[in-house]
Amino acid sequence: MITNEQLLLLEKYLKESNNIVFFGGAGVSTESGIPDFRSKDGLYNNMGVDFSKYKPEYLLSFACLYHEPDVFFEFYRQKMDTRNYKPNITHNVLAKLEEIGKLSAIVTQNIDGLHQKAGSKNVYEIHGTTSVCHCMNCGREYDGNYIFDCDENIPHCQYCGDEDAIIRPNVVLYGENLPEYTVAKAISAIEKADCLIIGGTSLTVWPANTFLSYFKGNHLIIINNEHLDIPINEKTDLNITDTLGNVFTKIDEMFKG
């Protein structure tokens, strides 16, 4: 739990910062009910029996999409449909901080679009998004609902008239590179930040775990439900072991009025 001393420092650091960047992972969305991939209660440990013979990484890989699209889309529809989930306190407070000019950008590893639902405008989705999909043949973009609502097991482009013209999600799959433009913008935002908040991510997945090295600002604030052994400057930084919901509820109180 966050201590009183940490709480006072957190308020001081946030109020003296005017170019805050938030870097978040799956833990941001778990409090909305969306399971993460790697926790003991996460997606990878609750796969449906139909997928039990496959490795989790394979089911969300380009190889699966290419070689076994029927398996890929069945898994995708069952596990990646987050349309009915709502933003939680963390999403909402981040949107508020952006609105009042404190927060300049959100860099997220999540693909659920909950930051945008909460009202955040400057969001860099380095792993892509489920809200958009596109034809692998002609490149035409579709709304993300198309894959989830399509009657076909394997969704095809309505314009190409080609059985090989598959509609795929704008999600970075295993075996694919992160989007260069989005990553460049995310890194630029982190480089310019005077305060970087890292929340809900273990920083174990490459290359996202390298993003911290670009931060040269005044205050690094780490918030995670489990303690992360990340070196910090005890005089200027914070490593808070607590839920994001609890910490952001307190942040919300700091900026009321």
What are the distances in angstroms from CA 178 to CA 27, 96, 129, 168, 228?
20, 28, 12, 16, 24
Query: CB-based contacts of 127: which residues, under 8 Å, 6+ apart?
Result: 108, 109, 110, 111, 171, 172, 178
The verdict on whether 67 is a catalytic residue reads: no
What are the distances in angstroms from CA 86 to CA 30, 147, 224?
11, 20, 21
Q: How many residues does the chain have?
A: 257
φ and ψ at residue 103, rounded to 5 degrees: -105, 130
d(CA 60, CA 182) in angstroms, rounded, equals 21
Beta bridge mates, 221:
197, 238
Query: CB-based contacts of 5: which residues, under 8 Å, 6+ apart?
Result: none
Among the listed residues 91, 115, 127, 156, the single catalytic one is 127
* Residues with catalytic roles: 127
